[in-house]
Amino acid sequence: MFDVKTVSMEWGGKTLTLETGRVARQADGAVLATYGETVVLCAVTAAKSVKEGQDFFPLTVHYQEKFSSAGRIPGGFFKRERGATEKETLTSRLIDRPVRPLFPEGFYNEINVIAQVLSFDGETEADIVAMIAASAALTISGVPFMGPIGACRVGFVDGEYTLNPKQTAALADGRLDLVVAATGDAVMMVESEAKELTEEEMLGAVMFAHDECRKVVNLVIDLAEKAAKEPWEIDLSDNTADVKAKLKKAVGKDVTAAYKLTDKSARSNALNAARAKAKEAFAGETPQLQMVAIKTMKKLEAEIVRGAILKDGKRIDGRKLDQVRPIESMVGFLPRTHGSALFTRGETQAICTTTLGTKDAEQMIDGLEGLSYSSFMLHYNFPPYSVGEVGRFGAPGRREIGHGKLAWRALHPVLPAKEDFPYTIRILSDITESNGSSSMATICGGCLSMMDAGVPLARPVSGIAMGLILEGDEFAVLSDILGDEDHLGDMDFKVAGTELGITTMQMDIKIAGITKEIMGKALEQAKAGRAHILGEMNKALGSARTELSAHAPRIETIQIDKSKIRDVIGTGGKVIREIVAETGAKVDIDDEGVIKISSSDIAQIEAAKKWILGIVEEAEVGKIYNGKVVNIVDFGAFVNFMGGKDGLVHVSEMKNERVEKPTDVVKEGQEVKVKVLEIDPRGKVRLSMRVVDQETGAELEDTRPAREPREPRGDRGPRDDRGGDRRGPRRDGGRGGNDRGPRGDRGPRGPRDGGGDPDHMPAFLKED
């Protein structure tokens, strides 16, 4: 029934296995990838024809994590997998970015790639396995895929590169979390977060990853030799030479003139006019030829722009290759936010705001490894007006989620430790103009807004986007690329970091990889650009503010003994709820006894702190406390004097003169001052009001004569020596001086209604 083909290899201390022919046999290509005990199924299907009028490549990648793979049931109301989570969206992008450039230009058949996690062992990350499974499934499907690719994760611990560490441990134990996808010849995609690595260390990590990717590529080739389907026969020959020549004659000068305009709006208008003119030149041709002319127009634009850069070193806006556009930064841009910044670089602009919250504002994440919480969030929005267009406005798409995560990775390594700054932090980036990298503007603006909010960052972070023009052996690396340079170039290479090193690096290419020489050049040029941008940011704000905004909550942390946690919480949470209700402050307590008290009002924090310390503090004999009468009884009054601690003021300790009734002196709810007289071994506290001035709280001289001390119980002797008629121990069968026998000799009791056994009745109760 099954024609199973399998290949395996030892890789990074575990076995990587690729299998096809058993599952999803109706797909064009399906591979079951197993690494450790993590299993991912990837199925590829491709349309056999192109939709009429379609002039783009519709590749769609879906990555899904099945909760059953980790033995979990999804949380929430709907107990099934639903819309893609952030991690699933990011992993889908990880798969898409390196494989998309490996399809030939002009191939427009729709392709669907679906990767599903079927088993997760908690140690082996499923994203890398999914990338490998997708590469293998595409390779054996027969579609014109110029792969395969390999993928791996790299860590950096104690100066050594490590292969495929657990993602959560990559930065906890080391300084790097790097994902690389590559063909056998060149690197295709890089995604990373780092703790200020140098350019040399980052480049070394990428090269280490490429060597490991080659091993995976060879394994996929082995599988393809056993199981690949016949390749598709498609005609992708370029027969547009005549069309291009006609276009160049008709609008070549117009396009060249348009790309000399430095203003984006003016340039866009000039290009639209040139395109309209080109359309007129082919008005009498067939619809098919008109479509070819439109596609060829894009190639003509790329040829003109790329040629000017490579031959003359002239960029679209007239800058030098390594020149950064003018930068202007403002902080405190918005009056009521906790921190805000307006960052403008050329025609790219971002409004970034920082909001500080308490622990209950943390983001809950329900994933394969269980529930986790994130105290740092960065959300990126790209409205259509930022590029002067009419378009969809609503929930974030994949691009917005990806750009936001890139900025998150850049800023996360410089955040203060939770113990030093116990706030939940949310950055919101709204892009208001875009002509270039808005994600790098988000990094710069987000950093400034956090410093404006008083977040004590280790160091400021800046970011820059680099581009590449490559023709044969000739290349040019561009700093701070424009949108058009991104569209017409060969690489989008983004680097962010501090003055000490790189915190994130992302690379996407549109050609079959770049060399170590090109990447090294790009990293060095990016370093100089980052330093320049940091200098411009410092003009607005050089370091974090020492005071938080007046509108931000304050958080104070105290540590109590774990044995006191139950006292602070109270039965069913009664005490902690009362503290929150009475003081107005928020109170969070963890299992280690760390208590965080938060409020925008310092007085509320102090009140809650005083209350909690009163609960956990041990009373001292001889010390005077403020208290409140909570209960009055016949013999005195109970006073709460240390948060949750009560003590008794006996009626004789209320005044120096005789008091008939406690209610003559105090009433419930009354504030009183008391002195601790005694704490017995069971923790009961005896208090006195009469020796404390109830107005000032000063201690008064005790004028009452001291009572004679009681005889200690220990001097009375044992119980069985205190009288001849004392009961003896039960185990002797008797009770001391009594002559009763053991219970077993007394006979059964009669019923309680007066009956019973007459033989056991006393003589005076027996009938005559």
pLDDT at 340: 97
265 in the same domain as 131: no
pLDDT at 739: 45
Pick the last residue of a domain from 596, 616, 636: 616
422 CA to centre of own chain = 15
Indicate the pLDDT class of residue 626, thresholds 50, 70 and 90: confident
- The larger pLDDT score, comparing residue 262 to residue 536, is at 536
CB contact set of 686 (below 8 Å; sequence gap of 6+)? 647, 648, 650, 653, 676, 677, 678, 679, 680
214 in the same domain as 92: yes
Residue 269 region, left (φ>0) first, then alpha (ψ -120 to 50), else beta? alpha
How far is it, in rounded angstroms, from Cα 450 to Cα 545? 9
- pLDDT average, residue stretch 91-118: 94
Number of H helices, E strands in the chain: 14, 29
- Return the number of other C-beta atoms located less than 10 Å from residue 569's C-beta: 17
Specify burial of residue 739 (Cβ count, 10 A radius: 0-12, 13-18, 19+).
exposed
How far is it, in rounded angstroms, from Cα 655 to Cα 653? 6
How far is it, in rounded angstroms, from Cα 422 to Cα 587? 13
- pLDDT average, residue stretch 87-105: 94
Residue 616, pLDDT > 80, answer: yes
Per-residue model confidence as pLDDT tens digits over 633-654: 999 999 988 766 789 999 999 9
Q: How far is CA 364 from CA 373, 375, 417, in A?
A: 5, 9, 19
Residue 762, pLDDT > 60, answer: no
535 in the same domain as 444: yes
CB contact set of 262 (below 8 Å; sequence gap of 6+)? 316, 317, 318
CA dihedral 56, 58, 59, 63 (to 10 degrees): 140
Pick the last residue of a domain from 177, 197, 227: 227
pLDDT at 722: 45
Specify burial of residue 279 (Cβ count, 10 A radius: 0-12, 13-18, 19+).
middle
How far is it, in rounded angstroms, from Cα 457 to Cα 420? 11
Residue 703 is assigned to a structural domain of this protein: no
- The larger pLDDT score, comparing residue 179 to residue 235, is at 179
Residue 368, pLDDT > 60, answer: yes
- pLDDT average, residue stretch 136-152: 95
Tell me the H-state helices in 347-482: 398-411, 438-452
Structural domain for 645, as ranges: 624-688
DSSP 458: S
393 in the same domain as 527: yes
From the list 572, 601, 570, the residue with the least C-alpha distance to 586 is: 601
726 in the same domain as 593: no
pLDDT at 738: 46
Residue 131, pLDDT > 80, answer: yes
Inter-helix orientation angle 287-307/241-258, to 10°: 50
pLDDT at 768: 39
- Return the number of other C-beta atoms located less than 10 Å from residue 628's C-beta: 13
513 in the same domain as 651: no
Global confidence as pTM? 0.81
Indicate the pLDDT class of residue 78, thresholds 50, 70 and 90: confident
pLDDT at 278: 84
Tokens of 424: 């939940």
From the list 129, 137, 125, 65, the residue with the least C-alpha distance to 99 is: 137
pLDDT at 720: 46
Pick the last residue of a domain from 508, 540, 572: 540
Tokens of 707: 């009572």
Residue 315, pLDDT > 50, answer: yes
How far is it, in rounded angstroms, from Cα 509 to Cα 502? 20
Residue 394, pLDDT > 80, answer: yes
- pLDDT average, residue stretch 586-602: 90
How far is it, in rounded angstroms, from Cα 635 to Cα 640? 17
509 in the same domain as 401: yes
Residue 458 is assigned to a structural domain of this protein: yes
Please give the mean pLDDT across all residues of the chain.
Answer: 87
At residue 472, the 3 state secondary structure works out as coil
Q: How far is CA 509 from CA 60, 190, 469, 478, in A?
A: 18, 10, 11, 14
Residue 724 is assigned to a structural domain of this protein: yes
- The larger pLDDT score, comparing residue 53 to residue 452, is at 452
Residue 21 region, left (φ>0) first, then alpha (ψ -120 to 50), else beta? left
pLDDT at 169: 82
**CATH code, domain with 590:** 3.30.1370.10
Indicate the pLDDT class of residue 731, thresholds 50, 70 and 90: very low
Residue 687 region, left (φ>0) first, then alpha (ψ -120 to 50), else beta? beta
Tokens of 561: 């003994």
* Range picked from 109-118, 465-474, 625-634, 677-686 for highest mean pLDDT: 109-118
- The larger pLDDT score, comparing residue 525 to residue 614, is at 525
For the chain, percent of residues with pLDDT exceeding 90: 57
Concatenate the DSSP letters of all residues of 144-202 into one string: ------EEEEEEEETTEEEES--HHHHTTTSSEEEEEEE-SSSEEEEEEEESSB-HHHH
- pLDDT average, residue stretch 122-150: 95
Q: Which amino acid is at 650?
A: H
Residue 386 is assigned to a structural domain of this protein: yes
Residue 357 is assigned to a structural domain of this protein: yes
Residue 318 is assigned to a structural domain of this protein: no
Residue 531 is assigned to a structural domain of this protein: yes
260 CA to centre of own chain = 44
- The larger pLDDT score, comparing residue 714 to residue 137, is at 137
508 in the same domain as 645: no
- The larger pLDDT score, comparing residue 360 to residue 156, is at 156
Indicate the pLDDT class of residue 265, thresholds 50, 70 and 90: confident
Residue 169 is assigned to a structural domain of this protein: yes
Tell me the H-state helices in 78-156: 86-99, 126-141
Per-residue model confidence as pLDDT tens digits over 372-384: 899 999 999 999 9
Q: How far is CA 200 from CA 160, 426, 496, 527, in A?
A: 13, 32, 15, 12
How far is it, in rounded angstroms, from Cα 504 to Cα 517? 20
pLDDT at 288: 72
pLDDT at 708: 55
How far is it, in rounded angstroms, from Cα 749 to Cα 650? 47
- pLDDT average, residue stretch 86-112: 93
Give the total number of structural domains in the chain: 6
Name the least confident of 5-19, 107-121, 445-459, 590-604: 590-604
- End-to-end CA gap in the chain: 104
- pLDDT average, residue stretch 124-145: 96
pLDDT at 332: 94
pLDDT at 11: 96
**CATH code, domain with 352:** 3.30.230.70
564 in the same domain as 528: no
From the list 137, 166, 116, 136, the residue with the least C-alpha distance to 12 is: 166
531 in the same domain as 388: yes
The radius of gyration of the chain's CA atoms, rounded to the nearest angstrom, is 39
pLDDT at 538: 96
- pLDDT average, residue stretch 728-737: 44
- The larger pLDDT score, comparing residue 585 to residue 715, is at 585
* Residue given tokens 């001291």 in the structure block: 706
pLDDT at 709: 52
At residue 44, the 3 state secondary structure works out as strand
612 in the same domain as 463: no
pLDDT at 238: 59
From the list 436, 521, 433, 434, the residue with the least C-alpha distance to 485 is: 436
Tokens of 417: 């430790």
**CATH code, domain with 286:** 1.10.10.400
- pLDDT average, residue stretch 225-236: 88
Tally of residues, the chain: 768
491 in the same domain as 371: yes
pLDDT at 757: 47
pLDDT at 243: 81
Q: Is the dihedral of CA 119, 121, 123, 124 positive or negative?
A: negative
Indicate the pLDDT class of residue 576, thresholds 50, 70 and 90: very high
Name the least confident of 100-104, 462-466, 592-596, 709-713: 709-713
- pLDDT average, residue stretch 176-198: 94
pLDDT at 515: 79
Per-residue model confidence as pLDDT tens digits over 267-312: 888 988 988 888 888 887 777 777 778 778 888 888 888 888 888 8
